[in-house]
């Protein structure tokens, strides 16, 4: 793979600590969600950060795929739902669902774009075979 961009983030204190990117653009405290015994939504958590990145990346990849087909999309919305749960064999795993809104095209064209984008998006490529993913056209 030819690397086109690299970044780094450093975490200290785990899920109840701090995370900061090398350039300082992202510098925030983390907290366990209430559902995991933490204080709640006062601070972000790794699943929220993953959801934000996944939604933004898929939306951008969708626009890229559409432009290759000479389609200009406007007003697309991608909402990522990330779940954290216990695995039967032990440990923890993630689940993912993307709700995808593509105005201005037929549902069949939208579905074709979603299927093509799933093959292009770095996040879907990274989780394929490891994280259950549901792609929902809304």
**Domains of the chain (ranges, CATH numbers):** 1-44 (2.20.25.10), 46-137 (3.30.300.20)
**Residues sharing a CB contact under 8 Å with residue 42, sequence separation 6 or more, in sequence order:** 31
DSSP letter assigned to residue 16: G
- Output the pLDDT for position 40: 75
**How large is the angle between the packed helices 46-68 and 107-120, nearest 10 degrees?**
120
Calculate what percentage of the chain has a pLDDT beyond 90. 94
Average model confidence (pLDDT) across the chain: 96
Lowest mean pLDDT among 26-35, 38-47, 88-97: 38-47
- Output the pLDDT for position 12: 97
pLDDT band for 96, please (50, 70, 90 cuts): very high
- Residues 55, 125 contacting (CB under 8 angstroms): no
- Distance between CA atoms of residues 129 and 105, nearest Å: 30
- Output the pLDDT for position 39: 85
**Residues sharing a CB contact under 8 Å with residue 102, sequence separation 6 or more, in sequence order:** 62, 73, 76, 110, 113, 114, 137
């Amino acid at each position: 793979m030819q690397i086109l961009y690299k970044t780094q983030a450093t975490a200290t204190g785990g899920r109840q600590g701090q995370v900061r990117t090398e350039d300082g653009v992202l510098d925030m405290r983390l907290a366990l969600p209430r559902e995991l015994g933490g204080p709640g939504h006062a601070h972000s958590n790794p699943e929220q950060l993953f959801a934000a990145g996944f939604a933004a990346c898929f939306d951008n990849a969708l626009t890229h795929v559409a432009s290759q087909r000479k389609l200009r999309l406007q007003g697309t919305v991608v909402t990522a739902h990330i779940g954290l749960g216990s695995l039967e064999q032990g440990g923890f795993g993630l689940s993912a669902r993307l709700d995808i809104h593509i105005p201005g095209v037929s549902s069949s064209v939208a579905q074709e774009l979603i299927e093509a984008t799933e093959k292009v998006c770095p996040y879907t490529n990274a989780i394929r075979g490891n994280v259950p993913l549901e792609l929902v056209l809304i």
